[in-house]
Amino acid sequence: MSKILTVAKYTYLEIIKSRILYATLGLGLFVAISSFVASSFTYGTPERVALDFGVGVFSLSAIGIAIFMGATLISREIESRTVYLALSRSISRFSFLLGKITGLSLVLAVNILLLGLVTYTVVFLLGGPFEGIMVWVVCFSFLEAFLLLNVVVLFSLLTNVPLAIFYTLVVYIVGHSIPTTLETSIVSNNPWLEYFIKIYSYFFPNLTVLNYRDFLTYSIYVPTQSLFLSLVYGIGYCSFLIFLSAWMFSKRELN
C-alpha cells in the first residue's frame, strides 16, 4: 500500500505541475460568470439554468481530463523509460499501475470538487435550495470519470494513444445512448439489433446508470435503493477494469 501511495503522490504532483489546477480554477471562474449571465436572461428559475450549466461543465471537464490524460498515463512512462526505474525498486507492476491511476483520480476529485463548489455556490446565491442529490451527482460524476479513466488505460495497453482515445469516446457516447437507442423504431422493429444492444449493455459500461444530472436539474425524486445500486455497479465495474488492466500490464513486453 505504501508503494502505491508513493506512486500516486508523485503522479498527482506531476500532473498538478502541468498547470491543470490553474485550468480548473479558470474554468470555475468561467462557470461562475457564465451562470450569472445566463441566469440574468432567464425568467422563473434562474438557479436551475445555473445548476444545469455548472453540472454539465464540471462533469465534462472531469471526463476530458480522464480520457486525454489517462491515455498517456502508462504509455508515457514506458516511452520515457521511467517505468523501468520504478520497477527496479521492488515495485510490482500492479502497484505501479494502481498508483498511477490513483494519482490521476485524485486530480479528478480535486477538479470536480472545486467546480462543484463553484456551481453550487452560484446556485445558492441565486436562491436555489440544497438537495441531497447534489452530493450524489458530484460522486457519480467522479465515478463516471474514474470509470472512463480505467477504460482508456485498458485500451492504451492494447493499442496506441489515438486509438485508445477514440475507442473510449465511442464507449462514452454509446454508453449514454443505450436507452434512447432501444426506444427507436429501427431497433424495436429489428429483434436481432435489439438483442445485440442489450447484450452490449450487459458487458460494456452502461453510463446512464451513473447519470443523475437530469434528476437534479428537474428536482425528480430518486429512491435511495437506485442510488446505492448505481454506486455498486460503478465501483464493481471499475474494480473489474483495474484488475483486467493489471493482468494486461503484467503480460505486456516493456522492451
Print the SS3 string covering the chain: CHHHHHHHHHHHHHHHHCCHHHHHHHHHHHHHHHHHHHHHCCCCCHHHHHHHHHHHHHHHHHHHHHHHHHCCCCHHHHHCCHHHHHHCCCCCHHHHHHHHHHHHHHHHHHHHHHHHHHHHHHHHHCCCCCCCHHHHHHHHHHHHHHHHHHHHHHHHHHCCHHHHHHHHHHHHHHHHHHHHHHCCHHHHCCHHHHHHHHHHHHHCCCHHHHCCHHHHHCCCCCCHHHHHHHHHHHHHHHHHHHHHHHHHHHHCCCC
Give the confidence band of 232 by pLDDT, cuts at 50, 70, 90.
Answer: very high
Burial class (CB in 10 A: 0-12, 13-18, 19+), 87: middle
Residue 3 has a pLDDT of: 81
Residue 244 has a pLDDT of: 93
Give the confidence band of 242 by pLDDT, cuts at 50, 70, 90.
Answer: very high
Which tens digits make up the pLDDT trace of 97-138? 898 999 999 999 988 898 888 888 888 887 778 788 888 999
Which tens digits make up the pLDDT trace of 169-226? 989 988 888 777 766 667 667 777 777 777 777 778 888 888 888 787 777 778 889 9
As a whole number, the mean pLDDT across the chain is 82
State how many domains the chain has.
1
Percent with pLDDT over 90 in the chain = 21
Q: What is the domain extent for residue 114?
A: 2-251
Report the alpha-carbon distance of residue 211 to residue 230 in Å, rounded. Answer: 9
Q: 232 versus 4: which is more confidently predicted? A: 232
Residue 165 has a pLDDT of: 92
CA-based R_g, the chain, Å:
20
204-223: b (≥16 Cβ within 10 Å) or e: ebbbebbbbbebbbeeeeee
Report the alpha-carbon distance of residue 55 to residue 70 in Å, rounded. Answer: 22
CB atoms within 10 A of CB 10: 15
Report the alpha-carbon distance of residue 152 to residue 148 in Å, rounded. Answer: 6
Which tens digits make up the pLDDT trace of 33-43? 776 676 666 66
Which tens digits make up the pLDDT trace of 7-60? 788 888 888 777 776 776 676 677 777 766 766 666 657 777 778 878 888 888
Report the alpha-carbon distance of residue 239 to residue 99 in Å, rounded. Answer: 14
| CB-based contact 35:122 (threshold 8 Å) | yes
| CB-based contact 156:70 (threshold 8 Å) | yes
